[in-house]
Structure 1
Amino acid sequence: MTQLPIFGQPPDRPAEKPAGDRAVTLQVLVTVKAAPNPSEKYGETVCVAGLSTDPERPGWVRLYPINFRELGRDASFKKYDIVSVEAVPARQDSRRESWRPRMPTLKVTNHLKDWARRRRWLDPAITEITMCRLHRGATMDSQSLGLIRPKRITALRITRHPGWSSSQQAKIDDYVKQITLFGNEDRTPLRAPRFAGTYHYECQEPTCRGHKQGFIDWEFVAFQLLRLGGLNDTAACEHLERRFLHKMCAPDRDVAFYVGNVAAHPRTFSVLGVYYPPRLASVSR
């Protein structure tokens, strides 16, 4: 079993990507698996993010693109796994944390099963920078991933997902045609989720007027597909609110949000996932 050091707070300003396209080996504690989106080339792609466990390369890491349905058993991984993977700087994505993984090289080296082990890494990573400050300072070179502590969560608004756009559906259709023509694989096209969610909250900034950010965690989508299929809309929304608001964001949890922005719109942030260990009596507010 790998001995894990205690990690400090990630730097507020991400390091520049190395020059050239030489692959480097990244060690990443996976904390985020975003909901899959249509891709013409890959069928569907997922953005994965996490915290570097390499003291020589501290900070947050974004790995994209990844198609989980095409991964073999040896390359499959889940949240709070620690993975080793070769990756090259993502040149089409100017965000400094973004890398293109070489998926055949990916190996799971550890898993942090309980909250106590996760807290050693992630509690120090909860930034003192507020969501308001992240938004104000957002540029192509600034921090695009973070773990922030909300001051007050006011709602999780759940609405009907509008379905794929015409361009997204065209990507799915083109990929399915490629499979039929070349691969003869039985591949179910990516389904749009039934519901979309938006967290409403206030950050720790004294003058915060509130944030409304889309919730794009894969867990939110998977819960709909696996657990709510037989329920009507009202009952399904109640189950989603119960799990992702009343349970995960309960008063007895030390809640923080994994947040990330959009490459083309640096000031547009989403909630990528929820960090919700049991509250510690000694944690000050």
Structure 2
Amino acid sequence: MAQLSLFGPSGEELNPKPASDEVVRLRVLITVKAAPNPSEKYGETVCVAGVRAELEHPGWVRLYPINFRYLDSTEKFDKYDVVSVDAIPARGGDQRRESWRPLMGTLVRERRLPPWRQRRAWLDSYIQPSMCQLNQGARNTADSQSLALVQPSEVGDLKIRLHEGWTKEEQRKIDAYVNQLDLLDDQDRTPLEAPRFRGAYRYRCWDRRCRGHEQGLLDWEFVALQRRLRHCSDEEARGELKKKFLDMMCAPKRDVAFYVGNQAKRRHVFSVLGVYYPER
């Protein structure tokens, strides 16, 4: 891939979270919107990630929690929008150095980057070749990198299987939220529906020792497309999902890379949060 970036880090000198809990104004190019998860407090929450837009502070940013269903129209944003927002470093159960807690009332959508030249100028230098190295770092270091853009050497398959439904704990959170009674609350408490399918990419990275990776696909777009395919049979829907997320996004004519991120409680478990797929 061409290294066009004016914004990305030149190496591993990514900024750690500040030691204090002072509010910081962040400017972020949004690259990831993960599928919503059940939340007892909000009904559903979304994890959003991207890269810092300030030249003097390159690095990855994770913004959580965000309740997209209830954002005002002025607060809604999409992938590859540049936004600014006040945030404080995440603490407690999320010590990952990229994690911040956004103050959503302060969010401003600044502009959108069109595909793909301008996006490449921001992102290509973030691409790294080894998922194996990320896994090793997560096993060895508590403060290891938890977000990355990884270029596969080959993409073998996108496995798609039926979703088994929410776990008991996830369903408990949904039920608790829906059953809350508040006469002053006019929010829609429709329960979050489990997606129809789960997806997982199989691929190899460029590490010479790589035996292959299989990582779940948690992209918002993967779930949104399933909802648009409600009228299709399982076989037809699987075909349409593969057509977009494997045949189109991972086509040989594209410089494919995967946005990956790990879990706060299971740092060694990385998932694919989205696909970066500019044409060569």
TM-score range, shorter chain: over 0.9
Alignment partner of 1:173: what SS? helix
Q: Which residue is 1:36 aligned to?
A: 36
1:42-81 equivalent positions in 2, closer than 5 A: 42-81=42-81
Deviation at 1:148, TM superposition (A): 0.7
Give yes or no for the alignment of 1:216 onto 2:218: yes
Give yes or no for the alignment of 1:256 onto 2:227: no
Q: Which residue is 1:230 aligned to?
A: 231
Deviation at 1:143, TM superposition (A): 0.5
Q: Which residue is 2:113 aligned to?
A: 112
Deviation at 1:8, TM superposition (A): 3.0
Q: Which residue is 2:241 aligned to?
A: 240
Q: Which residue is 1:121 aligned to?
A: 122
Q: Which residue is 2:19 aligned to?
A: 19
2: CA distance, partners of 1:59 / 1:182 = 41
Deviation at 1:10, TM superposition (A): 5.9
1: CA distance, partners of 2:177 / 2:105 = 21
Q: Which amino acid in 1 is paired with 2:45?
A: T
Alignment partner of 1:123: what SS? helix
Q: Give the alignment partner of residue 154 of structure 2, picking from 144, 149, 152.
A: 152
Deviation at 1:77, TM superposition (A): 0.4
Q: Which amino acid in 2 is paired with 1:117?
A: Q
Q: Which runs of 5+ in 1 are unaligned?
A: 280-285
Q: Which amino acid in 2 is paired with 1:49?
A: A
Which segments of structure 1 move beyond 6 Å, counting only runs of 4 or more? Answer: none
After superposition, give the CA deviation of every residue in 1:174-201 in whole Å (9 maximum; x if it has no partner): 1111256552443321100000000000
Would you say the 8 A contact 1:37–1:44 is kept in 2? Answer: yes
2: CA distance, partners of 1:229 / 1:179 = 32
2: CA distance, partners of 1:83 / 1:245 = 29
Deviation at 1:124, TM superposition (A): 1.4
Q: Which residue is 1:197 aligned to?
A: 199
After superposition, give the CA deviation of every residue in 1:232-273 in whole Å (9 maximum; x if it has no partner): 101110110111000110011110000001111111100000
Q: Which amino acid in 2 is paired with 1:85?
A: V
Q: Which residue is 1:82 aligned to?
A: 82
Q: Which residue is 1:283 aligned to?
A: none
Alignment partner of 1:73: what SS? coil
Q: Which amino acid in 2 is paired with 1:143?
A: Q
Would you say the 8 A contact 1:9–1:126 is kept in 2? Answer: no
2: CA distance, partners of 1:85 / 1:186 = 25
Q: Which amino acid in 1 is paired with 2:50?
A: G
2: CA distance, partners of 1:264 / 1:113 = 35
* Residues 181 and 192 of structure 1, relative CA distance in 2, 3 Å threshold: farther
Deviation at 1:11, TM superposition (A): 4.4
- The percentage of counterpart residues that share the same residue type is 58
2: CA distance, partners of 1:13 / 1:57 = 10
After superposition, give the CA deviation of every residue in 1:47-67 in whole Å (9 maximum; x if it has no partner): 000010112221000000000
2: CA distance, partners of 1:180 / 1:78 = 31
Q: Which runs of 5+ in 2 are unaligned?
A: none
Give yes or no for the alignment of 1:91 onto 2:91: yes
Alignment partner of 2:49: what SS? strand
Would you say how many aligned residue pairs link Structure 1 and Structure 2? 273
Q: Which amino acid in 1 is paired with 2:29?
A: L
Give yes or no for the alignment of 1:176 onto 2:178: yes
Deviation at 1:216, TM superposition (A): 0.2
Would you say the 8 A contact 1:41–1:175 is kept in 2? Answer: yes
